[in-house]
Amino acid sequence: MKLQLLLLLSAVVYGAAQTTPSPLTVALNCIDDESADVIDDYIAAVEAAVNGLRQEIENCGILNLPCLTEVAAKIVAAVAAIPLQVLGVAAQLTTGGTGCVTGAISGR
């Protein structure tokens, strides 16, 4: 009887262990979700900037060289800023400011 009770208890503990994610799994899932949000926000900002520049080009007209030159300078500046922006996104993802790890460790 004791052996059966021990086996039943072991099965319950094993089953609970299989359905409860570890703190590391919780933290990694949280970081994955947070990083997806940060990356999605960055992509949305880039798309908005591209759309704005496209609109400026359309507003210039094909023969307005001074206007097109000004937009071209904005495009060059935007492209030059991309590496710095990517570093900013990477820093945001690695700073741990999301609370994912501390929340997972404390069981929240």
Would you say 107 and 21 are in contact if contact means Cβ atoms under 8 Å apart?
no
How buried is 104 (Cβ within 10 angstroms: 0-12 exposed, 13-18 middle, 19+ buried)? buried
Select the more confidently predicted residue: 66 or 30: 66
Tell me the percentage of the chain whose pLDDT exceeds 70. 66
- Reported pTM: 0.57
Q: Is 21 left (phi over 0), alpha (psi -120 to 50) or beta?
A: beta
What band does 104 get if pLDDT is binned at 50, 70 and 90?
A: very low
The residue extents of the domains of the chain are 23-105
- 8-25, pLDDT tens digit by residue? 666 666 555 566 776 777
